[in-house]
């Protein structure tokens, strides 16, 4: 029987030959670790030459596979499947440059439709609509009274990425336009003075790449020679909200002030006269609030007032249409001499 030295003090492994081979991959206590096998050195071609040769042969082979494969593979049915590279190309074509939706050239008109009229908080008129023209196209929007050729306002807009447009608010000398029937004209010309080169590359000069039936032809005898977008549509301007009606009534009123007589200018003109002194600092704002349970509105003009300073106020009766100054500051801000 072989006597083993204490655990952990093994002599060189070749002096011990265990009587029983342990299970494969499991070395139990009492068995020496297997000797380290060292492969004898090979003679022949150096290793670095094998590496250089493999790389030199592998690169041309990979290039040939890519060139012959064309980026497609075949499934078991013999149908071609797009590789990830071809899927990315397809996605880029759908999204367009920079991930934006690609513009699709329309096959028929109209190129501008769904005109809408809304008012903002100050009563200004905003014209909006949908378009099939490319994003970035410049468009002019004009408003006028029905039956009149005099323009009440013109706004320059650009088609957005969502193929919509919104004008800046139209006003009548900084006052809201009254309710009623108006005409909105949308005009778009396709030349270098109106459009950028990128837009003309898409639609063509004179819109020659657009459907001729959607354009007003420049030459009726030869409609294929190009044209312009020109649409005129009658719309209804909505009524003012009650609060703005009260504010406008106060602004337009020339009040009689006790002890001084009737003002030479209306309230709005007197307010501008006070502001010209530079004593009253912005922000400026007109506000109106109705007295609960009545038809009377209290209209105020606010500014950056000093502590304890009263804000001018007026009253407007929606039933009788009467305007009066409501406090002492309102009285002072309601009269001006002839100047």
Q: Within its chain, how far is the Cα of 15 from the centroid?
A: 84
pLDDT number for residue 109: 87
For residue 97, give Cα distances in angstroms to 93, 94, 105, 131: 8, 9, 16, 20
Beta carbons within 8 Å of 59's beta carbon, 6+ residues apart: none
CA dihedral over 28, 29, 35, 37, signed as positive or negative: positive
Q: Could you tell me which residues are beta bridge partners of residue 54?
A: none
**Where do the domains of the chain lie?**
112-237, 242-332
pLDDT number for residue 56: 53
- pTM, two decimal places: 0.65
Q: Could you tell me which residues are beta bridge partners of residue 234?
A: 183
pLDDT number for residue 193: 94
Classified as helix, coil or strand, 335 is: coil
What DSSP state is assigned to residue 170? B
CA distance 182 to 313: 34
pLDDT number for residue 54: 54
DSSP string, 184-212: EEEEE--STTTS-HHHHHHH-GGGTTS-G
- Count of CA atoms in the C-beta half-sphere (13 A) of 55: 5
CA distance 218 to 224: 9
Q: Which pair of structure tokens corresponds to residue 226?
A: 């190009």
DSSP string, 93-150: HHH-GGGPPPP---SSS-SEEEEEEEE-TT--EEEEEEE-SPTT-EEEEEEEETT--S
Inter-residue contact 110 to 96 (CB < 8 Å): no
Q: What is the dihedral of CA 214, 220, 221, 225, to 10 degrees?
A: -50
Alpha helices (H) along 29-166? 47-69, 84-95
Q: What is the CATH number of domain 112-237?
A: 2.60.40.10
Provide the residue-wise pLDDT of the chain in tens; the chain has 339 residues.
555 555 555 455 454 444 455 454 444 444 455 454 455 455 555 555 455 455 455 544 454 443 444 444 334 343 333 333 333 333 333 345 555 668 999 998 899 999 999 999 999 999 999 999 999 999 999 999 999 999 999 999 999 999 999 999 999 998 999 999 999 999 999 999 999 999 999 999 999 999 988 999 988 888 778 899 999 999 999 999 999 999 999 999 999 999 999 999 999 999 999 999 888 999 999 999 999 999 999 999 999 877 677 899 999 999 999 999 999 999 999 999 987
């Amino acid at each position: 029987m072989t006597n083993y030295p204490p655990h952990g003090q093994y002599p060189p492994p070749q002096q011990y030959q265990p009587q029983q081979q342990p299970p494969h991959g499991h070395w139990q206590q009492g068995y020496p670790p297997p000797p380290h096998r060292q492969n004898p050195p090979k003679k022949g071609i150096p290793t670095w030459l094998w590496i250089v040769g493999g790389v030199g042969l592998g690169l041309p082979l990979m290039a040939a596979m890519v060139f012959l494969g064309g980026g497609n593979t075949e499934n078991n049915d013999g149908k071609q499947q797009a590789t990830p590279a071809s899927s990315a190309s397809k996605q880029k074509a759908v999204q367009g440059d920079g991930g934006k939706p690609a513009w699709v050239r329309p096959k028929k008109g109209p190129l501008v439709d769904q005109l809408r009229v809304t008012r903002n908080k100050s009563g200004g008129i905003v014209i909006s609509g949908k378009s099939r023209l490319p994003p970035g196209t410049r468009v002019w929007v004009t408003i006028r009274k029905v039956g009149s050729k005099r323009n009440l306002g013109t706004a320059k807009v650009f088609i957005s990425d969502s193929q919509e447009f919104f004008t800046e608010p139209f006003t009548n000398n900084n006052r809201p336009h009254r309710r009623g029937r108006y005409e909105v004209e949308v005009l778009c010309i396709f030349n270098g003075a109106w459009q950028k080169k990128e837009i003309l590359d898409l639609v063509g000069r004179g819109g020659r790449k657009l459907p001729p039936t959607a354009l007003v032809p420049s030459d009726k005898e030869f409609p294929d020679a190009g044209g312009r977008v020109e649409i005129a549509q009658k719309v209804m301007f909505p009524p003012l909200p009650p609060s703005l009606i009260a504010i406008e009534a106060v602004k337009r009123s020339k009040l009689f002030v006790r002890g001084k007589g009737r003002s030479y200018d209306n309230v709005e003109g007197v307010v501008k006269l006070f502001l010209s002194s530079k004593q009253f600092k912005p922000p400026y704002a007109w506000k109106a609030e109705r007295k609960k349970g009545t038809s009377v509105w209290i209209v105020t003009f606010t500014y950056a007032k000093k502590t304890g300073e009263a804000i001018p106020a007026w009253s407007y009766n929606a039933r009788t249409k009467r305007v009066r100054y409501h406090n002492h500051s309102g009285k002072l801000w309601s009269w001006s001499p002839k100047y």
